[in-house]
Structure formats: C-alpha cells, structure tokens
Amino acid sequence: MRRTLLFLLALLSLLLSSCSPSNGGAPTGSVIVGVTSDLRVGVDVVALHVVMSAGGAVTKDETLTTASTTEHLALPMELPFTDLPDGTAVQVSIDAFGPGSSSTPLLNRLAATSVVAGKSLLLLVDLSSHCVALPGSSVPTCTAPETCVAGACESEDVAASSLAPYSPSWSKDTSFDPCKPPNAGAPVVFVGEGQADYLPLMDGQVDQVEQGPQGGHHVWVAIRTKNLHQSGSITSITGHFPDLDIDVGPFNVIFTQETDEGGYCKIYGLRFQLDQQYPIQMLLGHPLDIKVTVTDTDNSVGVGTKNVVLSKNYLQ
C-alpha cells in the first residue's frame, strides 16, 4: 500500500510538471507585430532590416529582401513574440530600404509594448510614406525613443491595454479596419486642437480664435478616436457658451481618419466656425463647451467633450 501511494504521488507530480509552462509555471502571453505599409514592395521598398528584442535581449536580427528565397519580403507581415512571461518588454526596429541604397534607409520605425499573460495581442506598425524624407518635404527627424508615425514624431511605447486581440485573419480580411479592429471595445473620442495634426487640449485652456478666408471666425478642432470606423464616420461638432446660454453649430463632416499610435486614429484641421448666428465680439473671451460626436457606419457612437475659453482677440 505504501509503495502504491508513493507511486501515485510520483505519477501525479510528473503529470503536473508536464502540464506546467517551461518558465516554472508562470503564465505567458504573446504580442504579434503586424507590419503594414502604403509603400510598394519591389518598387518603393526592396529590403527591410528587422531587429526584435524581448526583455532587453535581441531575439531576431535579419534582413528581408525581395530577392531572397528563404527570408522573402512581403507585406503585410507578422513578427511574433510568443510565450513570454507577463510584463516582458518587447521592441521592434525596422529599417526600410529602397532600390539602389543598402546603407541609408528610407525610414526607420520603432514600436514597443509589453506582454500580458493569457493574451495574444496585435501591435500594428505602419511603414508610412509620410515618414519618407524627400527633397522639399516636411518629414520630421525623430530621435529615439520617438519614431515617425504618419508624418509626426510619436513615442515608440504603446500601452498594452490599448492593443486589440490578435486575429490570424487581420491581414487577410479586406474588411479589416485599423481604427475599429475585430472585437473592438467601446468607442473613445478625445477632443483636441490643431490645423496640421492632433494636439492635446486641456480643460480651461485658452483656445485661439482665427479669422477664416471667407471672413468668418473659427477655432481649429482635432480628435483622437478608437473603435470607430476609419471611413464613412460622421463627425459632428457643437458648442455651448454656458454663461451666455448660446449654442453654436452643428458642424458635420465625413472625413477619413488617419491611423495614430497605440491603436488610435485621428482627424485634424476641423474649422469650427463660431459666428454664423452671433457676432464674434459677443463671444470672445467667454467659456465654450465643445462637444464632438462621431457616428460610424455600424451606428456606434463616440462622444468627447472639452471646456475651453475663447481668446479675447482673433488672428487674421
């Protein structure tokens, strides 16, 4: 009986150990880097130098080319970090090279996030033509840990909480929408400012009024969104002056969103005219509640608000 009991205990221990992860039983997770580009493989891009790091150690350092038969270059592509302990920091660096140059890349793209145990996450990395420096272009020079994203310098770090779950069909499904990926959560809308890009706007901040080319007066509104379709969404801006009990707007547009870092998308350069019904001198210097409502083709609705104070003068 004693030998039988000892044998059963040993067998149970062996079975438990064979079912445990190789890192001592700690749960693991994965991050799949999905690389996309509007650059043409074989025309604009002929090689990618890829460096992948996990926990500060390089796990892959390879060059993919259109001429290679073993590591052939094709886009979209996946760069997987699989079965890593919870919280492991992962990073990818990609240099894209055009024809005739193997030393000076067209662009460099960085992205970093962290592993979440029990989850497989999709980290989208876009090699954007807006980040290719050409003579006379306004492409910025970004210094790590910043990287060029859609023509602007952004942090390479992407919060794992902002990433969508990985789906094997993300690159094959023609209906894939980077602004509203599969299993998207609730819509998110942040209200900011900016004519040429999205800039954060703080509650209570003075918002500069400008005179437009047709004589009207406006403020520039920009938004940063998540989980709302990239194309076909209706963006509606309204305003309320609480101390005057005056409403302005709505201003409605259907603009295609640009992709942004961290799974977000953005629209900027929305000219919100203030004086369609009331003279601008009546409104200058007063608080304004800005409300932006985005309704996509699935009837998902995201709402963002910001409370600002109009400047006391306007720029001409």
Return the residue matching tokens 């044998």.
Answer: 7
Q: What are phi and psi of 100, to 5 degrees?
A: 85, 0
Number of helices and strands (H, E) in the chain? 2, 20
**What digits encode the pLDDT tens for the residues 74-99?**
888 999 999 999 999 999 999 999 88
Return the closest-CA partner of residue 198 out of 250, 255, 251, 114.
255
**What digits encode the pLDDT tens for the residues 47-70?**
999 999 999 999 999 998 877 655
**What digits encode the pLDDT tens for the residues 251-301?**
998 888 888 877 789 999 999 999 989 999 999 999 999 999 999 988 999
Distance of CA 301 to the CA centre of its chain: 19
Contact in structure between 153 and 109 (CB atoms under 8 Å): no
Q: Is 150 left (phi over 0), alpha (psi -120 to 50) or beta?
A: left
Return the residue matching tokens 């005219």.
Answer: 273
Residues 38, 41, 43, 48: what is their CA dihedral angle, to the nearest 10 degrees? 100
CA distances from 204 to 201, 220, 246, 305, 306 (A): 9, 16, 18, 12, 8
**What digits encode the pLDDT tens for the residues 122-146?**
999 988 887 887 665 667 788 889 9
Which secondary structure element, helix H or strand E, spans residue 262, and what is its range?
none
Cα Rg for the chain, rounded, in angstroms?
A: 25
Domains of the chain: 28-165 (2.60.40.10), 188-315 (2.60.40.2550)
Question: Is the pLDDT score of 21 beyond 60?
Answer: no
The model carries a pTM of: 0.53
Q: Which long-range contacts (CB under 8 A, 24 or more apart) does 9-16 make?
A: none
- pLDDT band at residue 44 under the 50/70/90 scheme: confident
